[in-house]
Structure 1
């Protein structure tokens, strides 16, 4: 590798590695394996080359998508499904005959988190506050220092945007 290639790899790593690692472990995903995912995503960006000529938001989105796909591939892999880290067998009394390992719930949570990240801060505040925090319109209005009608409006448009973001990710009504 030449000095130019070394510099490019260093720049890519310095600019995007921390952001990607935080994204991957937030999924949640094993911190050590997350480092491998980050390295693989950065390597793919370097190999592609053309992606690095695009504006920063495009590069970030591309890297996040690659990292997300790498994690999904790993979570769906036979290795991941058959590994038992703590040595405790799953409870066979589950309604699905013991086949559930929580992966679907994890993937659903990841999908919703990813879709929520596309909302504006204002929309996300009211949607998360109401649905995950169990707060009323009046409580949200007081906490955010806005009128109750504004909370309702943000909730309406936030839910619409969330529904669209989920549809874009393959979730059907």
Structure 2
């Protein structure tokens, strides 16, 4: 059971690495601003519609940036798998780290959702400014990464990783991300 928990912990690190890579790509194109601008992208039915700059940039990433929708979907899928894997990790017995990672992961997901500023986030999450959501998202992502790295290092100190475990965790993480 300890090896399964360690395997899931390693997979969580892989999911987090995918989140960092896709999030870095998305950060180049995302505009964390709640300033209202007319939409000027390629989706004709929305052209001229007033929306926040953050939401317009999300539409721009999805529709106009090459590979942008794929990257957004990979980011979203990896975040779901990270939370689901953390719940499984919690059930297998790493309560201290898993509870912290689960709480931070939920906060990171909520703040990432608020940073896009679609219509539902304004209704559900309140009128918190988009730059604050974006800043909170970046801070919680760093905290989740720190928890995963510390936990992974402590697991490896108790029971060293083998090349087979690392290869299996990377393979399963890639399979999970691509098949989800």
With structure 1 as the length reference, what TM-score do the two structures score?
Answer: 0.29
- The higher relative CO (CA closer than 8 Å, separation ≥ 6) is in 2
* Structure with the greater alpha carbon radius of gyration: 1
Name the one with the larger helix percent. Answer: 2
With structure 2 as the length reference, what TM-score do the two structures score?
Answer: 0.28
